Structure 1
Amino acid sequence: MKSTVVRILYLLTGYLCVLLGLIGVLLPLVPTTPFLLVAAFCFSRSSEKLHQYLITHRIFGKLILDWETYGVIPFRIKLLSTSMMLLMVSYPLIFKTFHIGLKAAVVVTILCALAYIWTRPSEASLVKN
């Protein structure tokens, strides 16, 4: 009984993350890739068919598989995500209407995210086995 409930929760979370990822394709402030990575994780524990669909997807499949297997974020994705993050956070930093505490929180959050992204390997060949 418990494993069935857990499996259903993973499945529902996977669907929710796919939906949020699709919204992220349309809205610039909502990320797509992290939601699809979480969806792949959830589907790997609830539906092998849906997991296989994600890792064989023509656009996202290789990125998800590289992440699952080696923890790799390709260099071009690092550059794209860095530029998008900096572009999106420039708005609250430029305008005076935002509280200095909010600006500081944004800067710290972005720096932490960028540190995480740039400390991941860019190629599977750089991963030590």
Structure 2
Amino acid sequence: MQKIVRFLCIIAAFLCVLLGVIGIVLPILPTTPFLLLAAILFARGSEYFHRWFLSTRLYKKYIESFVQTKAMTKKEKCSALSMITVLLGIGFIFSPVWYAKALIIVIAVAHYIYISFRIKTVKPSEKEISSIENKKTEKIMT
């Protein structure tokens, strides 16, 4: 059973990577959440694939700085909230059931609260400096 779960995690992670790559080209599909989910699924499914994914340019360009600093720039927050609004708005418009619409509103509000108040906002220059410091600390520890 454990092997089946690990295999399914790996398959799902590759699917998330594919959706993340498609999201780079299509602005309606968010890239970062899919790549973060892929990292989590790879970690659960296979240490080999997890190490491989962490070494890819895709990971380093789109999510490494967020994972290391736990912070976003104002532009990144606005972009994330815009995508969330568009995607949940589409779901809200096409949902025929009132309780599904209510659930979508609750999810949207939770996203706005979490991104606005729980994720630290930094200037782009602060994020780069913090990311460099984290890399140095990581190298020293290994």
Question: Scaled by the length of structure 1, what TM-score is found?
Answer: 0.64
Partner of 2:140: none
Say if 2:30 and 2:83, in contact at 8 Å, map to a contact too.
Answer: no
Partner of 1:114: 112
Once the two structures are superposed, residues 35-90 of structure 1 have per-residue CA deviations (whole angstroms, 9 ceiling, x without a partner) of: 111100010122223222332333532653455566x1422421332345557788
User: Secondary structure of the residue that 2:28 maps to in structure 1?
Assistant: coil
Say if 2:20 and 2:35, in contact at 8 Å, map to a contact too.
Answer: yes
61-70 or 29-38, which deviates more: 61-70
Q: Indicate whether 1:40 and 2:51 are aligned.
A: no
In structure 1, C-alpha distance between the alignment counterparts of 2:112 and 2:106, rounded to whole Å: 10
Once the two structures are superposed, residues 4-44 of structure 1 have per-residue CA deviations (whole angstroms, 9 ceiling, x without a partner) of: 11110111110111111122122222111111111000101
In structure 1, C-alpha distance between the alignment counterparts of 2:3 and 2:83, rounded to whole Å: 40
Larger strand share, 1 or 2: 2
In structure 2, C-alpha distance between the alignment counterparts of 1:90 and 1:10, rounded to whole Å: 29
Q: Quick one: percent identity of the two aligned structures?
A: 34
Larger helix share, 1 or 2: 2
In structure 1, C-alpha distance between the alignment counterparts of 2:121 and 2:49, rounded to whole Å: 26
